[in-house]
Amino acid sequence: MGAGILGTGGGGNPYIGKLRAQEIVRQYGNIKVVQPNQLKDDDLVICLGGIGAPTVGVEKVRGDESARALNELENYLGKKATAVISGEIGGSNSLEPIIAAGKNNIPMIDGDGMGRAFPEIHMKTFFIYGVSWTPAVVCDEKGNTALFTKALSAHWLEKMARAVTIQMGCAAVFATAPMNGNEVKNTAIHGTLTLAKNVGEAVQNAQNNKTDPVNNILEAYPGKLLFEGKISDLARSTTDGFARGHVLIEGSNQYKKHTLKIEFQNENLIAYIDNKIVCMVPDLICIIDSETGDPITTELLRYGFRVSVLALPAPENLCTQKALEVVGPKGFGYDFEYEYLLNIPRK
Amino acid sequence: MRIGIDVGGTNTDAVLINKNTIIKTFKTNTSKDITSSVSSCIKELIKNQEKQNIDSIIIGTTHLINDLIQRKNLAKTAIIRLCGPSTRLLKPLSDWPLDIVDKNLFSSHFVSGGLEFDGREISSISKLEIQKLCDKFKSEKIESIAVNGVFASVNPYQEIETKKIIQQEMGNIPISLSHQIGRIGLLERENATILNSMLIKSAQSTFANLNNIIKELKLNSKIYITQNDGTMSSIEDALKYPVFSLSSGPTNSMRGASYLSGIKNGLVIDIGGTSTDIGMLINSFPKESSIAVDFSGIRTNFRMADVLSIPLGGGTIINKQKPYLNELSVGNEITSKSLSFGGDITTITDIFAAESKTSFSLPNKNIIIKKLLSNNVKQEIKSKISLAIDKMKTSADTIDAIVVGGGAFIMPEDIDGLNLIKIAKHSEVANAIGSALAQVSGYSEKVYSTHNMTREEILNASKHDAINNAINKGADKRTIEIIDVEEIPLSYLPSNAITVKTKVVGNINNN
């Protein structure tokens, strides 16, 4: 559930991710989690995640493809991975490495490459801070594998992998960024598996004790309540392998007579209240069920839902000049610069 | 004039309504086959009425959900997922309650088939493979079949073809196709489709004989069954799609309570013989649950009222020591087993009858209950109901609460944060009134080309189409509202086509 909230609308359906992880744990036993600082220089860590449109992932539910993706990359490298790491902590992608970790009996790292969810491969901190994106493989559930040995940039890899993914049916898995222990320590966002767990527990506590989930979440991850209201319009299409569109929320309580608009590309990117920008990527824009605190992902958005919208400041290493070129508004085709609008201290 | 009937586990309540005025009400015990209690209600209500004035008889029942909860009367069901190599990690029945999965009720299979998001085939279906499965189903004595294809909502042809093949092999066996039951979301749609298949038998025994009543009583009225979302369907549809009528009780009781009290926003506490249901009213309509809806632990994605149900009612059995409230109720056997009716089981009703606090008179008037037991029972009732109310309230503020149902007399009066609204008359038939007020739905599902229409024009066209459909089915135009819009881009067609599904509901037109 915490991963669902950090998913900012994308990253796939956390419920399905949970069921898949439970099934793997049932078949192969518990999975060990290690901290990035415990890694040694000669460790080989491989990054795993789903690739495709989340609207497809709830229908063409993934299987154990990520274990095959890991094995294919190991075969090419001629070396066995000693641990796996999530490319993004948001949504079911956070649990994708569990599938491979379970089947191969290796640990998973407490950390990831995004601290949230982003739609594209080159937006991982590994690549922003210098890790090589190739070799990489994309596998589908039918048994197809594509191996990428060279790409001019992570963005090129993204474009090629995306083209392959569309042909594979828009719900595939991806293994990339073979790293040694040092590279993981220096480029990953640390502790995010634990953070997701804490946010999830905060929501569960609110549900059990009938307290306000918003307050609990903001205690686990300091941020700000942006808006409350009812979904009044929804435009969504699957183009170029992404779920793109916008959602309009009609305000209620102290937000009455105001409208919040969120534009998304798999993940929520920009939030406007009455056409004025109030939060922008890479800061996290999270839509939750007003009452239960359950995250509502892009593919679950529906007319009439009563929702609260939270804004959470992005981790520091997504906000450096270098990172903002990739994961700031300009990285998503907007023509304005990133501005931090949350008037609260960044942790 | 309309007749609304609510068939509960214990009582069957009925009401005759002319336009918006209650003409007459009637209450009887629920018979083993619901037909005879429904029939006696109708007979009683139409006395002194012109038969041709009764336009419609609208029936809501808890029989299906009770069968599901008690795991009885369920059809032995085969599940065929058309998926090829995809989606196989999570088998059908993933995350279902183990007691039902272990019942040896199911036969699940992955077969060739399934579509990609853009309509391409993952693989084509294999006639031979399905024929072989049918042989297996025959030897397993399968009674009902659920077919779920990956992305069947984008194009249902594989499910339809599979049905034809099964029918050639197995004749008239009931077959539920997922694209007719649910929306995108493989597991939730599959769950709903399996539920539908399982409930076919229960629906048959509940609904099939109702049409005979009309013939027998020589009425011209049409019979309808209320659905989960507060709308109604024909008996033919209720037999084919029982899952849509699985749980209409909560919506009916809440709408009935709103009608009787005039309260538009607040809590509704419906205390029956077996259970107490608590829900929130927002603008006279039940608050809907926003994400997944659990039916007895089974996850689906239906639109329906968010209601908390606890096992507490007039028929709840009293234990000799703490906890004094048993989880079980004597149900419809209250008239033979409880003390008040001369039986030997102490129920909550008997505790209140001893103090003459029931809302009706009882045959055995000389019950003696120790004061201490009575106080302890009342204390437990209060804490049980308070706990449930806290779960449903959206804020700590004091809100209006309407108490309805045959067991309303057990409601404690001193619960914090509630402004109890008493209903002077007819509270015991709130569910039946809700049935009589069931809404008419309108639906539109069409493919539009985005070539020569803007998105707004397309949505408007779909909206008008759905509204017209509702008006044709008897809805009052002024009350129609849109409740669901779903756009599915069909990227496999060259002309940028999208399917738009719009659903609207409105009140029955009284003129």
Tokens standing for B452? 């020569």
Whether residue B87 and residue A61 make contact (CB cut-off 8 A), yes or no, is yes
**pLDDT tens digit sequence for B441-474:** 898 888 787 778 888 999 999 999 999 999 988 8
The Cα of B260 is separated from the nearest Cα of chain A by a number of Å equal to: 26
Answer whether A212 touches B (CB < 8 Å). no
CB contacts of B292 in chain A (<8 Å) are 15
Mutate to test the interface with B, among A59, A65, A301 (most CBs of B within 10 A): A59
Query: Does the structure show a pLDDT above 90 at A160?
Result: yes
Element (H, E) at B115: none
Answer whether A301 touches B (CB < 8 Å). no
Quick one: average pLDDT of B130-140?
98
CA distance B324 to B311: 13
CA distance A153 to A1: 33
Residues 6+ apart with CB under 8 A from B172: none
The Cα of B185 is separated from the nearest Cα of chain A by a number of Å equal to: 5
**pLDDT tens digit sequence for A17-49:** 889 999 999 999 999 999 999 999 999 999 999
Quick one: average pLDDT of B107-118?
95
Query: Does the structure show a pLDDT above 90 at B375?
Result: yes
Structural domains in chain B (count): 3
**What angle (nearest 5°) sits at the alpha carbon of residue B175, between those of residues B160 and B134?**
90
Answer whether B100 touches A (CB < 8 Å). no
* B234 against B109, higher pLDDT: B109
In sequence order, what DSSP letters do the residues of B79-106 get, joined into one string?
EEEE-TTTT-SS-TTTT--HHHHTTS-E
For B344, counting Cβ atoms within 10 Å of its Cβ (0-12 exposed, 13-18 middle, 19+ buried), the class is exposed
| Cα distances (Å, whole numbers) of residue B260 to A91, B21, B393, B402 | 45, 11, 21, 9
Whether residue A55 and residue B184 make contact (CB cut-off 8 A), yes or no, is yes
In sequence order, what DSSP letters do the residues of A10-31 get, joined into one string?
-S--HHHHHHHHHHHHHHH---
Give the confidence band of A247 by pLDDT, cuts at 50, 70, 90.
very high
**pLDDT tens digit sequence for A174-204:** 999 999 999 999 999 999 999 999 999 999 9
Of the candidates A98, A92, A102, A16, which has an alpha carbon nearest to the alpha carbon of residue A61?
A: A16
CB contacts of A299 in chain B (<8 Å) are 184
Of the candidates B279, B464, B238, which has an alpha carbon nearest to the alpha carbon of residue B389?
A: B279
Tell whether B456 and B387 lie within a shared domain.
no
Q: End-to-end CA distance of chain B, in Å? A: 11
Tokens standing for A92? 């079911």
Whether residue A23 and residue B84 make contact (CB cut-off 8 A), yes or no, is no
Of A215-219, B17-21, B168-172, B267-271, least confident by mean pLDDT is B17-21
Answer whether B368 touches A (CB < 8 Å). no
For B116, counting Cβ atoms within 10 Å of its Cβ (0-12 exposed, 13-18 middle, 19+ buried), the class is buried
The single-letter DSSP state of residue B484 is E
Tell whether B92 and B162 lie within a shared domain.
yes
Parallel/antiparallel/unpaired status of strands B307-310 and B298-300:
unpaired
Answer whether A142 touches B (CB < 8 Å). yes
Number of C-beta neighbours around residue A346 at 10 A: 13
Q: Is residue B185 part of a domain?
A: yes
Whether residue A15 and residue B487 make contact (CB cut-off 8 A), yes or no, is no
Whether residue B117 and residue A169 make contact (CB cut-off 8 A), yes or no, is yes
CB contacts of B84 in chain A (<8 Å) are 142
Q: Chain B 140-169, CB below 8 Å of chain A: which residues?
A: 150-151, 153
CA distance B173 to A27: 36
Quick one: average pLDDT of B330-349?
87
Query: Three-state DSSP class for B447?
Result: strand
As a dihedral over the C-alpha atoms of residue B431, residue B434, residue B436, residue B437, rounded to 10 degrees, the angle is: 180
What's the 3-state SS for B317-337? EECCCCCCEEEEECHHHHHHH
Answer whether B120 touches A (CB < 8 Å). yes
The Cα of A87 is separated from the nearest Cα of chain B by a number of Å equal to: 22
Answer whether A16 touches B (CB < 8 Å). yes
Whether residue A296 and residue B151 make contact (CB cut-off 8 A), yes or no, is no
Query: Does the structure show a pLDDT above 70 at A12?
Result: no
The position carrying tokens 């197995």 is B170
CA atoms within 13 A on the CB side of B434: 34
The Cα of B295 is separated from the nearest Cα of chain A by a number of Å equal to: 17
Query: Three-state DSSP class for B366?
Result: coil
Query: Does the structure show a pLDDT above 90 at A153?
Result: yes
Query: Three-state DSSP class for A324?
Result: helix
Q: How many CB pairs below 8 A link A and B?
A: 103
**pLDDT tens digit sequence for A283-305:** 999 999 887 888 888 877 877 67
Bond before A14 cis per omega within 30 degrees:
no
Q: Please name the member of A59, A236, A302 whose beta carbon is closest to the beta carbon of B186.
A: A59
Whether residue B90 and residue A16 make contact (CB cut-off 8 A), yes or no, is yes
For B333, counting Cβ atoms within 10 Å of its Cβ (0-12 exposed, 13-18 middle, 19+ buried), the class is middle
Whether residue A235 and residue B186 make contact (CB cut-off 8 A), yes or no, is no
CA atoms within 13 A on the CB side of B359: 18
Q: Is residue B208 part of a domain?
A: no
Q: Is residue B79 part of a domain?
A: yes
CA distance A173 to A46: 13
**pLDDT tens digit sequence for B282-324:** 877 788 765 567 777 888 877 678 888 888 999 999 998 888 9
Q: Is residue B470 part of a domain?
A: yes
Whether residue B151 and residue A16 make contact (CB cut-off 8 A), yes or no, is no
Query: Does the structure show a pLDDT above 90 at A266?
Result: no
Evaluate the CA torsion angle A166, A167, A171, A177 in order and state its sign: negative
Q: Is residue B164 part of a domain?
A: yes
Among B428, B452, B474, the domain boundary falls at: B428
Q: Chain B 475-504, CB below 8 Å of chain A: which residues?
A: 482-485, 487, 489, 491, 498
Quick one: average pLDDT of A270-274?
96
Give the confidence band of B405 by pLDDT, cuts at 50, 70, 90.
confident
CB contacts of A209 in chain B (<8 Å) are none
B433 Ramachandran zone, left/alpha/beta (phi>0; psi -120 to 50): alpha
Quick one: average pLDDT of B372-383?
92
Q: Please name the member of A53, A64, A210 whose beta carbon is closest to the beta carbon of B89.
A: A64
Residue type, B489: P
Are A128 and A328 in contact by the 8 Å Cβ rule? The answer is: no
pLDDT of residue A99: 94
The Cα of B1 is separated from the nearest Cα of chain A by a number of Å equal to: 33
Quick one: average pLDDT of B15-34?
89
Average pLDDT, chain B: 88
Are A39 and A323 in contact by the 8 Å Cβ rule? The answer is: no
Quick one: average pLDDT of B390-411?
82
CB contacts of A64 in chain B (<8 Å) are 89
pLDDT of residue B492: 53
CA distance B140 to B154: 32
Give the confidence band of A2 by pLDDT, cuts at 50, 70, 90.
confident
Quick one: average pLDDT of A121-139?
94
CA distance B36 to B217: 12
Answer whether B265 touches A (CB < 8 Å). no
Tell whether B366 and B450 lie within a shared domain.
no
Q: Is residue B288 part of a domain?
A: no
Are A124 and A114 in contact by the 8 Å Cβ rule? The answer is: yes
Answer whether B302 touches A (CB < 8 Å). no
pLDDT of residue B46: 93
The Cα of A318 is separated from the nearest Cα of chain B by a number of Å equal to: 32
Of the candidates A35, A20, A145, which has an alpha carbon nearest to the alpha carbon of residue A85?
A: A35
Q: Please name the member of A53, A58, A64 whose beta carbon is closest to the beta carbon of B186.
A: A58
Q: Please name the member of A60, A238, A300 whose beta carbon is closest to the beta carbon of B489.
A: A238
Q: Is residue B39 part of a domain?
A: no
Residues 6+ apart with CB under 8 A from B511: none
pTM: 0.83
pLDDT of residue B396: 61
CB contacts of A294 in chain B (<8 Å) are 290-291
Of the candidates A115, A80, A96, which has an alpha carbon nearest to the alpha carbon of residue A172?
A: A96
Q: Is residue B158 part of a domain?
A: yes
CA distance B493 to A212: 46
The Cα of B498 is separated from the nearest Cα of chain A by a number of Å equal to: 9
Are B161 and B172 in contact by the 8 Å Cβ rule? The answer is: no
Among B180, B201, B222, the domain boundary falls at: B201
A313 Ramachandran zone, left/alpha/beta (phi>0; psi -120 to 50): beta
Whether residue A170 and residue B117 make contact (CB cut-off 8 A), yes or no, is yes
Tell whether B398 and B417 lie within a shared domain.
yes
Residues 6+ apart with CB under 8 A from B7: B30, B34, B37, B38, B59, B60, B61, B62, B63
pLDDT of residue A294: 87
Tell whether B396 and B421 lie within a shared domain.
yes
CA distance B13 to B435: 10
Mutate to test the interface with B, among A5, A56, A61 (most CBs of B within 10 A): A61
| Domains along chain A with CATH numbers | 2-190 (3.40.1610.10), 217-332 (2.40.390.10)
pLDDT of residue B511: 60
CA distance B507 to B285: 12
Query: Using N-to-C axis directions, what is the helix angle for B157-170 and B127-139, rounded to 10°?
Result: 50
Tell whether B119 and B194 lie within a shared domain.
yes
Give the whole-number percent of chain B exceeding pLDDT 70: 96
Domain that holds residue B498: 439-506
| Cα distances (Å, whole numbers) of residue A66 to A143, A174, B76, B89 | 11, 7, 36, 12
Number of C-beta neighbours around residue A176 at 10 A: 31
Among B428, B462, B481, the domain boundary falls at: B428
Tell whether B422 and B478 lie within a shared domain.
no
The Cα of B375 is separated from the nearest Cα of chain A by a number of Å equal to: 28
Q: What is the CATH number of the domain that holds B123?
A: 3.40.50
Answer whether A345 touches B (CB < 8 Å). no
Residue type, A190: H
pLDDT of residue B495: 56
Whether residue B84 and residue A62 make contact (CB cut-off 8 A), yes or no, is no
The single-letter DSSP state of residue A8 is T
E runs forming strands in chain A: 33-34, 45-52, 83-86, 108-112, 136-139, 145-148, 171-179, 189-190, 224-239, 242-251, 259-265, 267-273, 276-280, 284-289, 306-312
pLDDT of residue B290: 54
The single-letter DSSP state of residue B422 is P
pLDDT of residue A238: 67
